[in-house]
Chains A and B, each alone.
Chain A
Amino acid sequence: MSPILECRNLTKKYGGSYALSGLNLTLERGEIIGLLGPNGSGKSSLIKLAAGVLQPTAGEILLSGKAPGAETKRFVSYLPDRSYLGRQMRVSEAVDYYNTFYDNFRPERASGMLDSLEIDRRARLSSLSKGTLEKVQLILVMSRDADLYLLDEPIGGVDPAARDYILQTILTNYNENATVLLSTHLISDIENILDRVLFLRGGQLALNASVDEIRTEYGKSVDTLFREVFKC
């Protein structure tokens, strides 16, 4: 079976600067992977390229052996780092939208999570707080039975208590063959759920190691290692 994500000499250039520069990477199935790096290291660009909302300048990115397209979007569930739902929509309409377009969307799972977070289905998205909107978006993304979840800063805008719920949501809603690739700056919050971490620096891979390897070989937590590697 092809790896869930493969980058071959992947390059993305914005004007004169490189977001990703000749990145080679292979991700296998069934892992929760932290995509870590300082601002401008290329984390969001890599996720956007995998989601198919950005085109590479050179090289290629393959998802289950296929270039991003209509077919890969069936099994990739993407959470962008911004609000992406029509603001005039109601929560229930957003759920209907996902249910209409994605065969692998599980409305009962979304309902359960909306209930446990006491989110009003009739509320318009424009009336929700930033944190609640992020929760709704994450619920929709995690209510799909996807093979690859791409989560760009899923816990950036929510309070610490909600972070725990969100991380729990991620843990309980992906199957063992699925892969979760999530980018964040809040390393200590997510460290415990990660199987592997990728450090990106200047659009290139600085480290690709399992969390166990980091603990045994470096004798450090991911957070401590990150601070050392990216010390200003």
Chain B
Amino acid sequence: MLRKLIKFDLKSGARIFLLLHGILLAVGLSGRLLFMNHLDFSEATPALVSSIVLFASLTLFLLMAVCFCTWLLIAVRFYRNLFTGEGYLTWTLPASAVEHLWAKIISGIIWYTLDCLVVAAVILMLVTGQNVTDAYSVIAPEVTAELGMPLSTFGLYLFIVMIISCFSSVIMTYFCIAVGQLFPAHRVLCAIAAYFISGLIIQAVSMGLMLLLKLFPGINLSILNGEQLAQYMFSAITLSIAIMFAVSAAEYAAVHYIMKKKINLL
């Protein structure tokens, strides 16, 4: 049953997802062929710098927009499929609440992971031209010294954190929507309120823990050398992942309870 639920969930969102990410890949490829490959780094002119800044800003905006749309797809699928008219079909399928929840979690994680992979592929596509790698090799030792590790390793760590955060992001989205359904009216608005309130609480707790563990980024960061910076980053990332797991576990328990005991389609 779980497999069937996941299959239909992925199928129903596939068209929008493929369209969005197809466009992103096409734009990435065009950017590489029409812009990045024609950059000449031999002379750092103001025109070169401003064009790179403009292109990077646009690319960043596009990547963020696609990530947002993926998140929206996951959130809307969950909400529409379980809590609107479609819920009358979904909740009368011979599947348990836990199966419904895990089907949504797994399909959400699949969407997010694919999104991360496409985003990473587009970034790699843009920065792996011969002219860019040659230009980077000039400043590579400096960057490595500053980061305490090669840029590629740093990027890989960021990618891993991004993949891990897919799970917590999906659970948090579902948690907020499920909490919104506990209210008798204005359920979408209540879900948005739950998102901001829970986000605020998590931020406050994270900051408190960072202060307590002396990991709060601040006054001493500028005088760290590369090795210390890398160590700081590992500690901060480890703490973030630990908080992420703890929060996700609590949110999962809440969603599980709501879906099992509090489903009321109006």
In chain B, residues 51-101, which have Cβ atoms closer than 8 Å to a Cβ of chain A?
A: 85-89, 91-96, 99
Contact digits for B231-266, partner A, Cβ 8 Å, 1 yes 0 no: 000000000000000000000000000000111110
The contact of B91 among A52, A74, A102, by CB within 8 Å, is A52
B184 close to A (CB within 8 Å): yes
Smallest CB-CB A-B distances: 7 pairs: A84-B88, A80-B88, A53-B265, A73-B94, A74-B94, A70-B96, A84-B89
Q: Are B94 and A70 in contact (CB under 8 A)?
A: yes
CB distance from B25 to the nearest CB of A (A): 24
Per-residue interface assignment for chain A, residues 210 to 229, with 1 indicating a CB less than 8 Å from any chain B CB and 0 otherwise: 00000000000000000000
Q: Are B262 and A55 in contact (CB under 8 A)?
A: yes
Instruction: State whether A101 touches B94 (Cβ < 8 A).
Output: yes
Size of the B side of the interface (Cβ < 8 Å), in residues, is 22
- Contact status B263-A102, CB under 8 Å: no
Any A CB within 8 A of the CB of B12: yes
Set of chain A residues within 8 Å of B96, measured between Cβ atoms? 69-70
- Check B102 for interface membership: any CB of A closer than 8 A: no
Contact (Cβ within 8 A) B99 A70: yes
Chain A residues in the interface with B (C-beta under 8 A): 14-15, 48, 51-55, 69-71, 73-74, 76, 78, 80, 82-86, 88, 97, 100-103
B186 within 8 Å of A (CB atoms): no
A101 adjacent to B261 (CB under 8 Å): no
In angstroms, how far is the closest chain B Cβ from the Cβ of A87?
9
Are A53 and B88 touching (Cβ within 8 A)?
yes
Residue of A54, A70, A85, A100 with most partner-chain B CB within 10 A: A70
A55-B88 contact given A100-B4, A101-B94, CB 8 Å threshold: no
With contact pairs A97-B8, A101-B4 given, residues A78 and B262 touching in the complex (Cβ less than 8 Å)? no
Determine if A82 and B88 form an interchain contact, defined as CB atoms under 8 angstroms apart. Answer: yes
Are A55 and B92 also in contact (CB < 8 A) when A70-B99, A84-B85, A86-B12 are?
A: no
Number of A-B residue pairs at CB separation under 8 A: 63
| Given A48-B265, A53-B91, A84 and B8 contact (CB-CB distance below 8 Å) | no
In contact, B92 and A78 (Cβ under 8 angstroms):
yes
- A183 CB to closest chain B CB (Å) equals 15
Task: Tell me how far the C-beta of B117 lies from the nearest C-beta in chain A, rounded to whole angstroms.
Answer: 26
A73: chain B residues at CB < 8 Å are 92-95
A102 touches B94 (CB 8 A): yes
Q: Chain B residues with Cβ under 8 A from A102's Cβ?
A: 93-94
Give CA–CA (A100, B91) in the complex, Å. 15
- Chain A's closest residue to B261 (CB) is A55
B87 partner residues in chain A, CB cutoff 8 A:
53, 84
Distance between Cα atoms of A167 and B4 in the complex (Å)? 33
The reply to whether A54 and B85 form a contact with Cβ atoms under 8 Å apart is no
**Do A82 and B92 form a contact, CB below 8 Å, given A14-B184, A101-B4?**
no
Bound together, the chains give a CA A180 to CA B12 distance in angstroms of: 32
Least CB distance, B10 to chain A, in whole angstroms: 14
Q: B113-144 interface mask toward A, CB cutoff 8 Å, 1 = contact, 0 = none?
A: 00000000000000000000000000000000
Q: How far is the CB of B166 from chain A (nearest CB, A)?
A: 25
> What are 14 of the A-B contact pairs (CB < 8 Å)?
A51-B88, A54-B265, A55-B262, A69-B96, A70-B94, A70-B96, A71-B94, A73-B93, A80-B85, A82-B85, A84-B89, A88-B12, A101-B1, A102-B94
Give A145 Cβ to nearest chain B Cβ, in Å: 13
Complex contacts, B265 vs chain A, CB 8 Å: 48, 53-54
Q: When A70-B95, A73-B92, A97-B8 are in contact, do A53 and B86 touch as well, CB less than 8 Å?
A: no
